[in-house]
């Protein structure tokens, strides 16, 4: 959530930066400024009248101590009017604050100055590529056929149990999942991240804190009876560890990682591009999350990107790094890098990680601050990234490493799988 004071003092700059994200509703920005002015004026009047009420209360008390009951009663009669005014102003203030919040949550985060303009994924900026695309043997199969051939992933059985998008991993398929999770967690720990095992359901306050609510409630699974949401990513519970928290400046950066299953409804997703593991409703992911000092957050973003790339290099997967254009960025992000791996049998790039800096957008919602030596509390920056999401990594490993004998496991993963081949 943007800070109201910044919007008020930088209206034209805010509108210019929002245009990069194709935000075309200046009336919402103007409504925020107008409602903020109403809120501030009401608050000033309320504070003045409340101060007057406190003064009168002291005067009444003093008159009563002096035995001047009649004068005290006359003065007390004034407080009746003041109480009505305070009640009216408080109601007006609450209404203005509610309307202000209603409007400001509709405004996305401002994109960083390096974010290119654009409206579609095709306009993302390709900034780096690594590795050679493998040449497959004649008769190579897409991963969903390989999964059936080697009996390691059963999509039909998952469909029977839960529905499309909930595969069942079996045998070496299940072991490969577990191996990747442990591989990613161990690498995160070596990079300085502390492992967290958070809840996989969150309340509304947590969803609001990281920006999933009210923006993405249609994409989240909702447990209606308890009003809880299944998490779309570990970013939500891990970042919310610091909701309503003020940390010390010398504690920054705070580095956490977590493995969780993730749940996304993916409403409206259909077609060939969602076959097999390409898009699921339930999947496993290791997430890295940092709380950072604003002066260092973009350096940290580059470090997080480098960490994700190191994982892809160890897995011997060809990949590219994209800087997302404004139209392809999330509502909450100021700058996002996507990492895409080449999936050889499908002959297409698949996104496997997004690494983002949210600047103060989440911390303002979370009331997450840091306090320096001078004692002033300021909003921290929050960052997160997938390191990594498993489904498309598995799809790429299966497709890229298939041979006529079977599927060869990358050397870095063998200590975790305890096998070199799926055959």
Domain ranges of the chain: 4-104, 121-422
Was 233 annotated as part of a binding site? yes
Was 352 annotated as part of a binding site? yes
Percent of the chain with pLDDT over 70: 98
pTM of the model: 0.92
Give the HSE-up count for residue 250: Cα atoms under 13 Å, Cβ half-sphere: 3
Which alpha helices (DSSP H) does 339-378 contain, by range? Answer: 361-366
| pLDDT at res. 259 | 98
Top-confidence range, 78-87, 261-270, 397-406: 397-406
Was 316 annotated as part of a binding site? no
Contact 400, 348 (CB under 8 A): no
φ and ψ of 225, to 5 deg: -60, -40
Structure tokens at 242: 């610091």
Was 269 annotated as part of a binding site? no
As a whole number of angstroms, the distance between CA 328 and CA 123 comes to: 9
Was 266 annotated as part of a binding site? yes
| pLDDT at res. 359 | 98
Q: Which CATH number fits domain 4-104: 1.10.287.40, 3.40.605.10, 1.50.10.10, 3.40.50.720?
A: 1.10.287.40
pLDDT-derived band of residue 272, with 50, 70 and 90 as boundaries? low
Was 227 annotated as part of a binding site? no
- Report helix, strand and coil shares of the chain as percent, to nearest 5: 45, 20, 35
Domain 121-422 -> CATH class: alpha beta
Give the HSE-up count for residue 111: Cα atoms under 13 Å, Cβ half-sphere: 26
Which residues sit opposite 353 in a β-bridge? Answer: 339
φ and ψ of 128, to 5 deg: -165, 140
Residue 2: partners with Cβ closer than 8 Å, 6 or more residues away: 14, 104, 107, 109, 110, 361, 364
Was 16 annotated as part of a binding site? no
As a whole number of angstroms, the distance between CA 115 and CA 28 comes to: 23
Would you call 163 helix, strand, or coil by DSSP?
A: coil
Was 264 annotated as part of a binding site? yes
Was 19 annotated as part of a binding site? no
In this predicted structure, the answer to whether residue 269 has a pLDDT above a threshold of 60 is no
Was 265 annotated as part of a binding site? yes
């Amino acid at each position: 959530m943007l800070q109201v004071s910044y919007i008020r003092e930088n209206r034209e700059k805010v509108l210019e930066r929002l245009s990069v994200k194709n935000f075309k509703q200046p009336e919402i920005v103007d409504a925020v400024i107008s409602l903020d002015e109403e809120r501030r004026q009401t608050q000033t009047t309320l504070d003045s009248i409340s101060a007057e009420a406190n003064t009168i209360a002291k005067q009444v008390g003093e008159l009563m101590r002096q035995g001047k009951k009649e004068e005290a009663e006359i003065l007390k009669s004034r407080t009746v009017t003041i109480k009505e005014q305070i009640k009216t102003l408080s109601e007006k203030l609450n209404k203005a604050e509610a309307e202000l919040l209603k409007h400001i949550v509709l405004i996305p985060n401002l994109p960083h100055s390096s974010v290119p303009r654009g409206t579609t994924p095709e306009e993302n900026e390709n900034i780096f590529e690594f590795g050679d695309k493998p040449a497959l043997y004649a008769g190579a199969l897409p991963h969903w056929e390989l999964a059936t051939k080697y009996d390691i992933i059963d999509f039909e059985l998952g469909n029977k149990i839960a529905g499309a998008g909930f595969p069942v991993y079996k045998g070496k398929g299940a072991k490969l999942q577990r191996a990747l999770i442990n591989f990613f967690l161990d690498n995160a720990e070596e990079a300085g991240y502390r492992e967290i095992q958070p809840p996989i359901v969150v309340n509304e306050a947590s969803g609001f804190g990281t920006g999933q609510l009210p923006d993405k409630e249609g994409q989240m699974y909702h447990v209606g009876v308890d009003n809880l949401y299944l998490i779309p990513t570990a970013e939500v519970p891990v970042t919310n560890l610091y909701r309503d928290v003020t940390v010390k400046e010398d504690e920054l950066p705070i580095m956490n990682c977590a493995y969780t299953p993730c749940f996304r409804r993916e409403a409206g997703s259909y077609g060939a591009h969602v076959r097999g593991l390409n898009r699921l409703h339930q999947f496993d992911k290791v997430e890295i999350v940092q709380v950072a000092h604003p002066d260092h957050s973009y350096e940290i973003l580059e470090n997080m990107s480098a960490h994700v790339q190191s994982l892809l290099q160890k897995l011997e997967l060809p990949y590219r790094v994209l800087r997302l254009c404004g139209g392809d960025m999330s509502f909450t992000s100021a700058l996002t890098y996507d990492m895409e791996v080449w999936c050889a049998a499908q002959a297409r790039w698949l996104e496997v990680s997004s690494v983002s800096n949210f600047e103060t957008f989440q911390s303002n919602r979370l009331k997450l601050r840091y306090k320096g030596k001078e004692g002033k509390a300021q909003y921290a920056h929050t960052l997160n990234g997938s390191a990594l999401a498993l489904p498309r990594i598995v799809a790429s490993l299966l497709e890229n490493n298939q041979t006529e004998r079977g599927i060869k496991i990358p050397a870095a993963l063998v200590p975790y799988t305890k096998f070199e081949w799926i055959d």
